[in-house]
Amino acid sequence: MATDERDRLREALKRVAVALKGADLRFALAGGYAVWVRGGPESLHDVDFLVAPADRDRAVEHLERVGLAVVQPPEDWLFKVDCDGAVVDVILRAAGSPAPDDALAAATPEEVLSVVMPVLTATDLVEQKLSVLRERYCDLGNVLAAARALREQVDWDRVRERTAGNDFAVATLFLLDRLDVVPAPAS
């Protein structure tokens, strides 16, 4: 990734985080940049925040009030914020994952690029990455890199339990076990 693009993403991350903090609502850094904060590779394409669905309207109003451009795509599970060409996805629910309330409650405050903000736990991040795996979306490169980087921070038994209904997640966990990335499941 070009330095200019990385700098734009990082600046967008900070601007939206500060704006969401000012709205006094439940949110957390999610996705690739949350993985990066927890020790994984840096995201290459966008920034993701998780916001409680009940706080959606307040978040949109506040972001617009502070001068950020909010765009509503056709999907009902997110909206986007354009920060000088850098895209920030504000996710209301992670695909395939349960309601975000538990993940938001478990998020911990971390200093990210000099801004303290809630960041999803490694367990929730890996669970979400596994939960989105489907027949039409099964890119394991992202999942394997995150799992390898965060492996010592993850409650793997909880991840296995919460993704047990997704055969793609189960198969990926089997692969991660065979690659000695994660401990074998308890018998």
Q: Does domain 3-120 have CATH number 3.30.460.40?
A: yes
DSSP code of 68? P
Contact between 123 and 153 under an 8 Å Cβ cutoff? The reply is: yes
Pairing of strands 27-30, 47-51: antiparallel
Q: What is each CA distance from 87 to 40, 112, 162, in whole angstroms? A: 20, 18, 30
What's the pTM value of the predicted model, to 2 decimals? 0.93
Of 47, 20, 48, the residue nearest 116 (C-alpha): 20
Residue ranges of domains in the chain? 3-120, 125-178
Return per-residue pLDDT of the chain as tens, 187 residues: 567 889 999 999 999 999 999 998 999 999 999 999 999 998 888 899 999 999 999 999 999 999 999 999 999 899 999 998 899 999 998 765 656 888 999 999 999 999 999 999 999 999 999 999 998 888 898 899 999 999 999 999 999 999 999 999 999 999 999 999 998 777 6
Strand order in the sheet with 86-91: 69-71, 78-83, 86-91, 47-51, 27-30, 115-119, 108-112
Contact between 51 and 58 under an 8 Å Cβ cutoff? The reply is: no
